[in-house]
Amino acid sequence: MNYWLMKTEPDVFGIDDLKSKKTEYWDGVRNYQARNFMRDEMKKGDLILFYHSSCKVPGVAGIATVSKESVPDFTSWDKKSKYYDEKSTEENPRWFMVQVKYKKKFKEVISLSELKSHKKLEKMKLLQKGNRLSIMPVTKSEFEFIEELSKK
DNA sequence: GCCAACGTTGGC
DNA sequence: GCCAACGTTGGC
């Protein structure tokens, strides 16, 4: 079992959208490192911290799971999609996505500033300087610590 | 293979 | 809206 953090802009697709849709294909990721995590390492049942970015209160909004392992991201060869990439084709896809499933919404978003205040989380990839990855691994202890924070 | 220019991310 | 940090592109 692996643990992950996935960033999303709540104005575009937030925890409430996932809650009402139940599952969602994580399309549109166009970063190689993030793609590799989805294509090679994310397994069904893995747990995901669902992170809201570029918004009023950035932070962890809830938990999701991986419900389907990677499949080619069909938006990459759809000319009408804003995620279209001419170098990706159905025969030779360049981009991949997993399907994620809603698990729970925290009573309150655990804000980035709170995450930063905990010594236990100081090594979190999310908090390292200059980090811009939209999908990144978290450790079991980081995941569990944050889930506990949400219960307070 | 180097690196300048450019685009994007994302907190503030 | 600003801007630091980083990834990608493309000329050489």
Confidence of residue A10 (pLDDT cuts 50, 70, 90): very high
φ and ψ at residue A86, rounded to 5 degrees:
-60, -20
How far CA A108 is from CA of A12, A42, A48, A71, A152, in Å, comes to 19, 27, 17, 33, 10
Name the residue among A62, A88, A77 with its Cα closest to residue A8: A62
Q: Give the CA A20 to C1' C7 distance in Å.
A: 34
Average pLDDT of the segment spanning A20-28 = 96
Residue A8's nearest nucleotide, by CA–C1', is B10
Checking if the pLDDT of A80 tops 90, the result is no
Listed by start position, the domains of chain A span: 3-149
**pLDDT at position A115, please?**
97
pLDDT by residue (tens digit) across A123-144? 999 999 888 899 999 999 999 9
Q: Give the CA A14 to C1' C6 distance in Å.
A: 25
Residue A80, CB, less than 7 Å from strand C? no
Domain A3-149: assigned CATH number: 3.10.590.10
- Residue numbers 29-58 of A with CB closer than 7 A to any atom of strand C: 31-33
Residue A151, CB, less than 7 Å from strand C? no
